[in-house]
Amino acid sequence: MAFISSGYNPAKPMEGRISDIGPRKYDEFFPPVIKNNFGKWLYHEILEPGVLMHVAESGDKCYTVRVGGTRTMSVTHIRELCDIADKFCNGCLRWTTRSNIEFMVDSEEGMKALRDELNSRTFDGGSFKFPVGGTGAGISNMVHTQGWIHCHTPATDASGPVKAVMDALFDDFKSMRLPAPMRIALACCINMCGAVHCSDIGLVGIHRKPPMIDHEWTDQLCEIPLAVSACPTAAVRPTKIEHDGKKINSIAIKEDRCMYCGNCYTMCPALPISDGEGDGVAIMVGGKVSNRISMPKFSKVVVGYIPNEPPRWPTLTKTVKHIIEVYAANANKYERLGDWAERIGWESFFKLTGLEFTHHLIDDFRDPAYYTWRQSTQFKF
Amino acid sequence: MAFISSGYNPAKPMEGRISDIGPRKYDEFFPPVIKNNFGKWLYHEILEPGVLMHVAESGDKCYTVRVGGTRTMSVTHIRELCDIADKFCNGCLRWTTRSNIEFMVDSEEGMKALRDELNSRTFDGGSFKFPVGGTGAGISNMVHTQGWIHCHTPATDASGPVKAVMDALFDDFKSMRLPAPMRIALACCINMCGAVHCSDIGLVGIHRKPPMIDHEWTDQLCEIPLAVSACPTAAVRPTKIEHDGKKINSIAIKEDRCMYCGNCYTMCPALPISDGEGDGVAIMVGGKVSNRISMPKFSKVVVGYIPNEPPRWPTLTKTVKHIIEVYAANANKYERLGDWAERIGWESFFKLTGLEFTHHLIDDFRDPAYYTWRQSTQFKF
Amino acid sequence: MAKFATPQLDQLESGPWPSFVSDIKQEAAQRAANAKNIEYQIPVDAPEDLLGVLELSYNDKETHWKHGGIVGVFGYGGGVIGRYCDQPEMFPGVAHFHTLRVAQPSGKYYNSTFLRGLCDIWDMRGSGLTNMHGSTGDIVLLGTQTVQLEEIFHELTHNLKVDLGGSGSNLRTPEACLGQSRCEYACYNTQDMCYQLTMDYQDELHRPAFPYKFKFKFDGCPNGCVCAMARSDFAVVGTWKDDIKIDQEAVKAYVAGEFSPNAGAHSGRDWGKFDLQKEVVDLCPSQCMKWDGSKLSIRTADCVRCMHCINTMPRALHIGDERGASILVGAKAPVVDGAQMGSLLVPFVSCEAPYDDVKEVIEKIWDWWMEEGKNRERVGETMKRLSFQKLLEVTDTPAAAYHVKEPRSNPYIFFKEEEVPGGWDRDLAAYRKRHQR
Amino acid sequence: MAKFATPQLDQLESGPWPSFVSDIKQEAAQRAANAKNIEYQIPVDAPEDLLGVLELSYNDKETHWKHGGIVGVFGYGGGVIGRYCDQPEMFPGVAHFHTLRVAQPSGKYYNSTFLRGLCDIWDMRGSGLTNMHGSTGDIVLLGTQTVQLEEIFHELTHNLKVDLGGSGSNLRTPEACLGQSRCEYACYNTQDMCYQLTMDYQDELHRPAFPYKFKFKFDGCPNGCVCAMARSDFAVVGTWKDDIKIDQEAVKAYVAGEFSPNAGAHSGRDWGKFDLQKEVVDLCPSQCMKWDGSKLSIRTADCVRCMHCINTMPRALHIGDERGASILVGAKAPVVDGAQMGSLLVPFVSCEAPYDDVKEVIEKIWDWWMEEGKNRERVGETMKRLSFQKLLEVTDTPAAAYHVKEPRSNPYIFFKEEEVPGGWDRDLAAYRKRHQR
């Protein structure tokens, strides 16, 4: 494979260099119906799961077909999306915040042909390439992170558990029978890239063992003070140890103060934390970002730990599915999962779901923990 | 005045000594109707402000007449209470948690005679000795602390402002027109002896100047490390200073970290904090301890500072009265002040009361402060 | 003729509310007249000097009392608060002005014999001024001198059979609501539990051995008249487990307007006709009630026993029969780490004398707190610092959903080493074989 | 024939949801076939090696990626994330596997020309694998080698007229909801504000000069589809000040069942007949609505613009005309000090290009945070550490009740020295004259 130059000359990096040009301007890529009715939309309707109709003041209608996407996506797959866009949508398409893909047309017939085409395509392995759905009071695509496919600090995989969970919830991606929209997210570690902390259901990779200390390399690979100050619980401190007969600077970890956040490992590669038998997933529920009815709220940890069970994470998948079924059977119309849990009380949430309440679920992180304890005689036996 | 011995012999302190006998047993002092119906009460009714009727399974009725009391009370006054108890109540009487005094009789006629007698007595200065009232959806007696009459750390007086406030609220002590019970408390400093932190209206003495440092005495009068560790904001630290040509151990205070709690002064008398022009009173509202309808809650600071204006604290008194009038005019039946403020939103509370919202009212004490900021686009313009 | 002019305080004699100034003046006059020829053991003009120093404070807007020195009675570490005036030459009558805390009876019932006995002692050996009562609940005898302390203690114990209360880093004088003596809501005998525990813990009350103060308070029901869960480190609040008892005929009588709702507490205003749906059913915090026009029903499993319906219709609704109490731990006022309310530890404990179940919890908490608590740290602060889990652990309480208002919203979870396969000892070399550096 | 056996991953090909494994396999097959005779600049079998390393992780249950080294393009401090495999001998095709972040257009509209251009570059110079999109919103090109970085950057800028996104301690690539392009709720042109601010702050985006990362997100209304107030340090969320516009006839059509409530979002279940009172009026969080059977009215002064009524009846209710946005500051995920949501700073700002009002707030916050922020401290943490008051001060914002959900419950109030008569310098000697020691 021969090196092919783009035209860049490493000897003269500034020659003809273009920089600081930012993104392409948003309106370059609008489909005609969008361009023509920008800022003039009157109302919309979800015609069927995955199909939206927006009506403009002009009387124009924009039909949108939404399909689920794998966030990790090949150029082959993108080219196939382009082919469809070329065929039905003047080459236009867009992505949503939740990694869905949307195609827009200006007629109902166009929409139907497009929808059928999208639903018809499958991978060789059998899964749908472009399942139509993800709207209204159903389950939209999961927001997720990289996991074992590309991240250096994960406590679980991302794409794998997402595939497993979405397979289990596929009917609810394709329908709108839930009391309210259901947003699920997965973060492969507690850094929580993505709004996992405010999702109806948040799956979070967690470690459960304090980091190992690779003393031989600590001082060479790390700024020790940065690792020390990275610890939210003051479990990490600098120390001097004897290694191979030499006194060297290293790090000590007070194990009973460590809650395995991995923040020190982020700062210092000589503190590896991931551990096959220790790592796994916590389930958080009841968060939301919308201001609708109730104010936004954080998700709460309701299952402290589920082991990593590749390739299909059956315990995790089953638990998520079960929570959703109990929610669907019990919540009021318009009630997000967290609003439901708050209305019935969290002790009723555990009773109804049958999830075990363990000591892991009680907050013990700093002063605000107190506010989550029950300062009342109001509770249900 | 000659010394009169009780019989105690200082040379032999253990001779005949009685200790660890605790309080008198509670049932020694029960009036007959209480003794006879203990644990057998069926229901009660407030017949008129200050008058309760409890009905027992036996059919017995206990009529209680409640009167307001000054917490600071002379033996002459107590003897007068005893005279009344002897005359009407077999010598029995009791105090409530809020320093009211209650007399119990077993007939309606007895109650009426008693009530009229109590209402009839006045001090030479003109005030009532035993005003009947303090029940139901009205204002009960204020719980308060010592203030300038006996305490070493107060930022305001207690008995004085309480007298001034209760004079202004006397009609509501004598009636039951409010949406719900109204509990008012006053603490002369932020130590808050009494449930000021959970009262419908809490008046709290506050300092506003960092302590002075009496360097000459610091090391002689204080355990410096205790003063240092007493500071919740780490504003106090040990230092060495030059005094009269000698290096001595003393204390330094980072003034911009000090919020004048006086906790260091409690530990170290060489750090006097009280200041005539700095000290005053903050008003907190909306707390409650009952679990009725809503869970118990803390009072919130709605006026950061009102100067000490002895002898009658007119600004304080007027502000309290005003808050109560706005509450009375706007809250729903059964709604405690805090429940009302939460229902309408605190921004509406400030709008309706006309109280100025200042930067002092925003929490800035440690991590939980964050939870009091507004994490929503839900607010009223 | 008053000893000091008190023009400011004099203004506090007007107005309807009982004037403490008038009362102190009346005491001053009584002592000056001394009709009973009492041999006053401390300055006869103490009340006048007290008015004088208070008037000075009204001018300066600053207190004139100093930190107390260590004064007390032999063998006790608390019960007396030393207090000195910072202008002793101006006010010699209150130059030394110590306070004694005297144990009040549970529920604060008295008879005149006892009170007169107290007055006699305090007339002769003190200022004649008291607090009825102090914030924690004690009878407070306000102002005497050091030499009188043992004399007063002797007379209290020998003549009145009553002891001092608590102060300092010990068990403070426990306090109870009036409970079953006069309240149909009381779920247990608050007075008796208070009395028995006070007696059982006399040593902890009189001899400071704790990191800081520790308070018990006993409320008979969730109405919380004695503020147990807001004001005491260890709050016992009555509750019940079974159905609220409903007298359907009485419910109808309320609806028909025959009975006054809320026991007449709202009679000072015309709130309109009683609306059972709006005023009771709709306000139920757990939405567990139903009124079909003739029958009121309650889903007990959803009831959180907030007391609202019972308070509103005390003739129709009554607490259940399976009675006991909840225990909440850690309440305190702001200093140092901010105020706390009690946090629910034990949802239900039966309340039969001799209260061993309750005492077991208390003693486990004390053992832990005395071991782990820092100087001047209330147990609520120890809980905050060491976690609620630790409190569960030391009291052998399994974690349950009723312990929290909501589960944690951060994933910073501690696991116990024994919960994690393989524990925390790991093989770095094996790891490095799987993962090159 | 696949290079590695991936029995575990193969199980992720079944089931209805699109399989990323199938997709990577299809890419591997395409590259192996190379029908277009592309001169691959990085190993052709990168996708296969990626499946291999992932299968290894499925066996070990541990990641096999190492900390990134410092890689990038000349003159930029971000936009590229270095990534190396910890078993490079086993998987040489992904031994070096860096990521590029490419700036996405606001609202993520594309045409096929642009996307195909991107695919062509990434086919030849990268793994052929992407993320559409990364968590912050960028197009993520997943996996290339160091020597290709400048080449890719050159082709992106010269051929596709697109720049890299942000990474590291700088302004991260801003993101907007689709706003007015296709939403009747959008209160301002989110895409334009996002685009303009991204252009204006290119320097801050490419050249790390902040204590830590800083994110802008732009939501058109309080529904918050792009999660601005949960995920961005600086959230601009559309709102309005005047009345919600009501079409009473359309309201009646909803009541009559002519229009599907909530835009049809609940059509998957029979929820019964639409009940305006129960489903809208009773759920209003500020109880500002009234329905008398023929007319719906809203007290605007009490409306908190939660969107519920508008969402439920989009044909009848429309956002007001006096439009702008609220600004909320400080959201972040848990690390280090716990998660935060954005706290309301500016209740209303008009949103007219060139957005100087918004930029003024941003720049004041940056000035302060760059001065006072600690290393790796998000601005939300700086706010927590230095107080919300400080944020108000540096942004010249007067404190107002809408800044809080509730006022403080502790009396630990700081006063400014100039607020207190006499300031903080006091005369100890004078004090000691009033108060003896």
**Beta-carbon count within 10 A of D421 CB:** 12
| Cβ separation A159–D338 shorter than 8 A | no
| Cβ separation A295–B367 shorter than 8 A | no
For domain A217-267, give the CATH number: 3.30.70.20
Which residues of chain D neighbour A175 with C-beta distances below 8 Å?
268
Burial zone of A225 (CB within 10 Å; 0-12 exposed, 13-18 middle, 19+ buried) = exposed
Q: Which two tokens stand for residue D116?
A: 């195909």
User: Residue length, chain D?
Assistant: 437
Query: Could you tell me which chain B residue has the CA closest to the CA of A369?
Result: B368
CA distance A210 to A279: 11
CA distance B303 to B316: 10
Closest CA to D72 of A158, A139, A13, C150: A13
D411 vs C62, C66, C334: nearest CB: C334
D339 and chain C: CB distance < 8 Å anywhere? yes
Query: Could you tell me which chain D residue has the CA closest to the CA of C65?
Result: D435
Which residues of chain D neighbour A173 with C-beta distances below 8 Å?
17
Percent of chain A with pLDDT over 70: 100
Domains defined for chain C, CATH in brackets = 7-160 (3.30.70.2500), 171-241+322-403 (3.30.413.10), 245-318 (3.30.70.20)
Q: What is the 3-state secondary structure (H, E, C) of C221-232?
A: CCCCCCCHHHHC
- ipTM score of the complex? 0.96
| Cβ separation A10–D154 shorter than 8 A | no
Collect all residues with Cβ–Cβ distance below 8 Å to B288 and sequence separation of at least 6: B183, B198, B199, B200, B294, B296, B297, B336, B338, B339
Tell me how close the Cα of C436 comes to any Cα of chain D, in angstroms: 5
With contact defined as 3+ CB pairs under 8 Å, the chains touching A are: B, C, D
**pLDDT band for position A1 (50/70/90)?**
low
Closest CA to B182 of B295, B98, B66: B98
Q: Which two tokens stand for residue C161?
A: 């059979």
Rounded to a whole number of angstroms, the distance between the first and last alpha carbons of chain B is 72
C364 φ/ψ sector (left φ>0, alpha ψ -120 to 50, else beta): alpha
Give φ, ψ of C128 to 5 degrees.
80, 5
Which residues of chain B neighbour A371 with C-beta distances below 8 Å?
368, 371
Which residues of chain A neighbour B291 with C-beta distances below 8 Å?
376-378
**Beta-carbon count within 10 A of C434 CB:** 16
Whole-number pLDDT of residue D1: 62
Dihedral of the alpha carbons of A266, A270, A272, A273, in degrees to the nearest 10: -60
CA distance B145 to B101: 18
CA distance D11 to D178: 36
Which residues of chain D neighbour C88 with C-beta distances below 8 Å?
436
B139-208+276-372 has the same fold as B26-120: no
**Beta-carbon count within 10 A of D246 CB:** 17
User: Residue length, chain B?
Assistant: 381
B176 vs C27, C116, C265: nearest CB: C265
3-state secondary structure of D329: strand
Which residues of chain C neighbour D411 with C-beta distances below 8 Å?
334
Q: Which two tokens stand for residue B245?
A: 């040509």
Tell me how close the Cα of A302 comes to any Cα of chain B, in angstroms: 21
| Cβ separation B377–D415 shorter than 8 A | no
Give the tens place of pLDDT for each residue, A87-128: 999 999 999 999 999 999 999 999 999 999 999 999 999 999
Q: Which helix (H) or strand (E) holds D65?
A: strand D65-66
CATH class of segment(s) A26-120: alpha beta
Q: What is the 3-state secondary structure (H, E, C) of C313-374?
A: CCCCEECCCCEEEEEEECCECCCCCCCECCEEEEEEECCCCCCHHHHHHHHHHHHHHHHHCC
What stretches in chain B show pLDDT beneath 70?
1
**pLDDT band for position C1 (50/70/90)?**
low
| Cβ separation D64–C435 shorter than 8 A | yes
3-state secondary structure of B4: coil
Cis peptide bond prior to D285, omega within 30° of 0? no
Query: Could you tell me which chain C residue has the CA closest to the CA of A270?
Result: C437
CA distance A364 to A16: 56
C301 vs A349, A363, A380: nearest CB: A380
Give φ, ψ of A50 to 5 degrees.
90, 0
Whole-number pLDDT of residue D238: 98
Q: Which helix (H) or strand (E) holds B316?
A: helix B314-330
Domain boundaries, chain B: 26-120, 139-208+276-372, 217-267
Tell me how close the Cα of A323 comes to any Cα of chain D, in angstroms: 19
- Locus of tokens 């010249």: D396
Return the sign of the alpha-carbon dihedral for residues C74, C76, C77, C80.
negative
C223 vs B26, B99, B290: nearest CB: B290
CB B276 within 8 A of CB C62: yes
**Beta-carbon count within 10 A of D243 CB:** 16
- Locus of tokens 């530990």: B267
Tell me how close the Cα of D134 comes to any Cα of chain C, in angstroms: 23
Rounded to a whole number of angstroms, the distance between the first and last alpha carbons of chain C is 93
Whole-number pLDDT of residue B333: 98
Collect all residues with Cβ–Cβ distance below 8 Å to C43 and sequence separation of at least 6: C49, C92, C93, C94
Lowest mean pLDDT among C235-239, C283-287, D64-68: D64-68
Whole-number pLDDT of residue A243: 85
Closest CA to B77 of B20, B123, B13, B114: B123
CA distance A282 to A279: 10
User: Residue length, chain A?
Assistant: 381
Query: Could you tell me which chain B residue has the CA closest to the CA of C227?
Result: B289
What stretches in chain D show pLDDT beneath 70?
1
| Cβ separation D286–B347 shorter than 8 A | no
CA distance C60 to C331: 35
Closest CA to A362 of B17, C377, C345, D312: C345
With contact defined as 3+ CB pairs under 8 Å, the chains touching B are: A, C, D
Which residues of chain A neighbour C421 with C-beta distances below 8 Å?
277-278
D105 and chain C: CB distance < 8 Å anywhere? no
CA distance D172 to D137: 9
CB B260 within 8 A of CB B210: yes
Distances (CA, A) of A72 to A102, A143, A147, D118, D143: 17, 11, 11, 15, 12
| Cβ separation B34–C338 shorter than 8 A | no
With contact defined as 3+ CB pairs under 8 Å, the chains touching D are: A, B, C
Distances (CA, A) of C372 to C151, C234, C378, D195: 38, 17, 11, 57
Q: What is the 3-state secondary structure (H, E, C) of chain C?
A: CCCCCCHHHHHHHCCCCCCHHHHHHHHHHHHHHCCCCCCCCCCCCHHHHHHHHHHHHHHHCCCCEECCCCCCCCCCCCCEECCEECCCCCCHHHCECEEEEECCCHHHEEEHHHHHHHHHHHHHHCCCEEEECCCCCCEEEEEECHHHHHHHHHHHHHHCCCCECCCCCCECCCEECCHHHCCCCCCCCHHHHHHHHHHHCHHHHHCCCCCCCECEEEECCCCCCCCHHHHCCEEEEEEECCCCEECHHHHHHHHCCCCCHHHHCCCCCCCCCCCHHHHHHCCCCCCCEEECCCCEEECHHHCCCCCHHHHHCCCCEECCCCEEEEEEECCECCCCCCCECCEEEEEEECCCCCCHHHHHHHHHHHHHHHHHCCCCCCHHHHHHHHCHHHHHHHCCCCCCHHHECCCCCCCCCCCCHHHCCCCCCCCHHHHHHHCCC
B44 vs C151, C184, C191: nearest CB: C184
**Beta-carbon count within 10 A of D29 CB:** 14
Bridge partners for D182 per DSSP: none
CB D84 within 8 A of CB D97: yes
Return the sign of the alpha-carbon dihedral for residues D200, D206, D207, D209.
positive
CA distance B252 to C58: 31
Return the sign of the alpha-carbon dihedral for residues C175, C178, C180, C181.
positive
CA distance D22 to D12: 8
CA distance D349 to D395: 14
Give the tens place of pLDDT for each residue, C105-152: 999 999 999 999 999 999 999 999 999 999 999 999 999 999 999 999
pTM of the model: 0.97
CB A283 within 8 A of CB A304: no
Cis peptide bond prior to C280, omega within 30° of 0? no
For domain A139-208+276-372, give the CATH number: 3.30.413.10
